[in-house]
Amino acid sequence: MKRSVKILLGAVVAVGLVYLYYTEVKPVVIFGLRSDYARAIPYQNVPAGIDSLQAESCGTCHREIYEEWKDSIHAHAYDDPFFQAYWKKDGNIWVCLNCHTPLENQQPTLIKEIPRGRVEKAVEEPNPRYDPAYQKESITCAACHVRDGMILGPFDDSVAPHPTKFDPAFRTAQVCYRCHNVVSGPAQFYHVGPCGTYAEYEGKYFMKEKGMICQSCHMPEVERPVAAGGPIRQGRRHLWQGGHDPEMIKRAVAVQVQADPPAPKPGEEVRFALTLINAGAGHKIPTGDPDRHFTVEFLVQDGHNKVLDHQTDTMGRWIMWQPVILEVLDNRLLPLASREYTFAYRLPDRPAGLTLKTRVRYHILTDGQHEMLKSKYGLTADDPYAFTIYERDFPLSSELAAALNKESDQPSAVSGQFHPHPPLPLQGGGSRGGGSCVLKAES
């Protein structure tokens, strides 16, 4: 056989294998299917005693809960600009709706079959009971609380004008499992799934010793009537603050800054250590979407704010997306863990006016991803996607020690009232010449 023929046959075989790989092996979405979220929650009828499944109808009696839900990320999971842009990028594929508008009542098509688990080959047909206005309610009340004509909830002694049923899942983290534990698919090698917060939850300290579940932070307890005119109960606020909420991120993080020497002289090198602590989250930080990450920055500036030196470190997940999805590195912080970032700078002989800016930023996505979503997929330009959660300026002079000591008088995240655990041993956070501060990122 001539060499040219062999090369041609080899090329044909290679093309065929690549075609089979992308059409029969590699999923077209960045996650695998699991039976509970591979399909929408089945169609729900309106329970007796209420006039509709719309959240506003529930709000007639459950007003405070409704007002909390209305401003939550759950209520905007469908119209969230980041979701809409990413969904457009993914060809508006139906499977994403199973978490963002999870009820069959909210979806324009019915999925009759998913051949070989390939979402792009799903057999769809129009949904005659689709309610486009109801779709805009995203993760609405009925998505969690209505099944088979009953209103489900965490109480076993409810008295209401509609049928009620106690569901113990509301008192556990299980109620969060369906959409916050998205798994890997074929040719996808994540350490956990792409959105695996549930799988990351730390069970030893927070769960076993403190009895905390997801709702402990994301749906804080509150004493109030569940419904107008009802008895005062210990219920939960329907807030679901999380990865899109800068204040929630700030409350999860503590920062310690140390310097050696604490009072540097002209011409002397000063070393800084910034320790970032996962002091308040029961899962890794950051969590959720794989694009989320922290940056830790050190910037030396002169009296005119000109940057003379700059160092940036990143904490997150590094993922290769083609030809397989391979999570190359995950350096996120486990619950109660810490990491030290160091920076050194030699002062000039005349260092007048120099300062060191230390900054920690939380990013929902990368600058490149943000620009791509804006330019190609309609993401609006003014949507915030990066937040400064900690920023302090320290003079690079003999006044440094006083500045560090002043900051150390601030309430620390380690001992602050939000965090339910005792002061943490810092990894690598030993004394560096006696100059240090520990503070809440929000203070």
pLDDT surpasses 90 at 257: yes
Q: How confident is the model at residue 23 (pLDDT cuts 50, 70, 90)?
A: confident
Burial class (CB in 10 A: 0-12, 13-18, 19+), 196: buried
pLDDT of residue 432: 26
From 21-25, 393-397, 426-430, the region with the lowest mean pLDDT = 426-430
pLDDT of residue 410: 58
Q: How confident is the model at residue 17 (pLDDT cuts 50, 70, 90)?
A: confident
Please tell me the distance from the alpha carbon of residue 184 to that of residue 422, in angstroms, as a whole number: 36
Helix (H, G, I), strand (E, B) or coil at 41: strand
**Tokens standing for residue 91:** 């060809």
Neighbours of 420 (CB within 10 A): 15
Q: Taking residues 265-287, report their average pLDDT.
A: 94
pLDDT surpasses 90 at 24: no
pLDDT surpasses 60 at 157: yes
**Identity of residue 282:** G
Please tell me the distance from the alpha carbon of residue 161 to that of residue 118, in angstroms, as a whole number: 44
Q: Taking residues 63-73, report their average pLDDT.
A: 97
pLDDT of residue 170: 95
Q: Which residue has the higher pLDDT, 188 or 350?
A: 188
Q: How confident is the model at residue 66 (pLDDT cuts 50, 70, 90)?
A: very high
Q: Taking residues 312-333, report their average pLDDT.
A: 96
pLDDT of residue 46: 97
pLDDT of residue 1: 62
pLDDT of residue 11: 82
CA 42, 182, 87, 91 dihedral sign is: negative
pLDDT surpasses 80 at 439: no
pLDDT surpasses 90 at 350: no
pLDDT surpasses 70 at 70: yes
pLDDT of residue 22: 85
Cβ within 8 Å of residue 66, ≥6 positions away:
55, 56, 58, 59, 141
**Tokens standing for residue 261:** 């020497």
pLDDT surpasses 80 at 88: yes
**Tokens standing for residue 336:** 């109660």
Please tell me the distance from the alpha carbon of residue 347 to that of residue 117, in angstroms, as a whole number: 61
pLDDT surpasses 50 at 313: yes
Q: Taking residues 150-176, report their average pLDDT.
A: 93
Residue among 106, 107, 111, 109 nearest 35 (CA): 111
Please tell me the distance from the alpha carbon of residue 151 to that of residue 215, in angstroms, as a whole number: 20
Q: Taking residues 51-74, report their average pLDDT.
A: 96
Contact predicate 286/332, CB 8 Å: yes
Superfamily of domain 246-440: Immunoglobulins (2.60.40.10)
Q: Taking residues 424-440, report their average pLDDT.
A: 33
pLDDT surpasses 80 at 146: yes
Contact predicate 424/338, CB 8 Å: yes
pLDDT of residue 408: 64
- 438: which strand partners? 256
Query: Would the pTM count as exceeding 0.85?
Result: yes
Helix axes 81-89, 367-377, angle to 10 degrees: 70
Please tell me the distance from the alpha carbon of residue 270 to that of residue 254, in angstroms, as a whole number: 23
pLDDT of residue 202: 75
**Tokens standing for residue 160:** 């209401």
